[in-house]
Amino acid sequence: MAKLSLLVFMSKKKKLKGTIDDYPLVEITTHDWVSDSEWVSINKARKFEPAICYSVGRKFNQTKSKIQLFGSWSYDEDGTLQVGTIETIPKSWMITIKLI
């Protein structure tokens, strides 16, 4: 099973044009949901707030609804940039984006 999972993961590498310098290194601050499985009163539950999270990576795609980063990369035999560790973040959750 682990071997199959590794093969599926490896096959999802995306190929991009250019070099690593074509993709800016950014830090994104986002909201994220908080979950709690304990029994609490409604008043206590209303006090829960979304978490604030940080992601650092190379920005390779941005649309009206999302922003995408990659965290690792390599070059294949013909020099094509391949990327992994891809994060797709809803733009509605984004608080800030900062160029590093």
Q: Give the pLDDT band of residue 19 (cuts 50, 70, 90).
A: confident
In a domain, 4, yes or no: no
Average pLDDT over the chain, rounded to an integer: 87
Burial of 28 (0-12, 13-18, 19+ CB in 10 A): buried
Number of domains in the chain: 1
Of 33, 30, 49, 35, give the one whose Cα is nearest residue 89. 30
Q: Give the pLDDT band of residue 57 (cuts 50, 70, 90).
A: very high
Averaged pLDDT, 83-93: 96
In a domain, 65, yes or no: yes
List the domain range (segments joined by +) for residue 20. 13-99
Residue whose token pair is 């294949």:
76
In a domain, 60, yes or no: yes
pTM over 0.85: no
Q: How far is CA 51 from the centre of its chain?
A: 16
pLDDT on residue 18: 78
On the question of pLDDT at 96 being above 90, the answer is yes
In a domain, 70, yes or no: yes
Q: Give the pLDDT band of residue 68 (cuts 50, 70, 90).
A: very high
